[in-house]
Amino acid sequence: MYAIPCAAVLALCGLAVHDGSVSASPASVATRDDRGVRPDTGASTMDGVYTAAQAVAGSDVFAAYCRSCHTPTVHSGPPFRGKWFGRPVAVLYGYIRREMPKNEPGSMSDEDYAAALAYLLKVNGMPAGDMSLPADSAALHRIRLDSVRTAPAPRSVPK
């Protein structure tokens, strides 16, 4: 009489059901991973933190491993910005590395995960630069996901 469908209970816990299997939703994983931690420096994805060649390689990785379940438009625009912007790039990289591809999480090389992330940055309008996006969590933690160039906080001037 008071039975709640299993999928509803799992959704309330931040879990999702796909093809009979249970996995954490991106929002709940991001919250667990982030824990309020902010990037170590003022580096921004608007500073050109990946190369154009890396984004092209990432497009190929996305087509081979991701497109069967995802479209680039699902990972761009307001929904993407609402979940990920303002956080360290390492949080998104960690989520993708642990959870994707759905049928074999963690099965790609670190470089392929970084290339796929570079492609997502490109799809979201972030510019390419001269240096490749690293596949190193510590380095990625120093970069903030931004949709617009943010100016550094003003420093107080002694009177």
Quick: pLDDT tens for 28-49.
444 444 445 555 666 899 999 9
What element of type H or E holds 23? strand 21-24
Adjacent-strand bridge partners of 16:
23
Straight-line distance from the first to the last Cα atom of the chain, in angstroms, rounded to the nearest whole number: 70
Tell me whether strands 15-18 and 143-144 are parallel, antiparallel or unpaired. unpaired
According to DSSP, residue 65 is labeled I
Domain ranges of the chain: 40-144
Dihedral (C-alpha) 77, 79, 80, 85: value to the nearest 10 degrees? 100
Structure tokens at 156: 């107080």
pLDDT at 139: 94
- Per-residue pLDDT tens for 87-124? 999 999 999 999 999 999 999 999 999 999 999 999 99
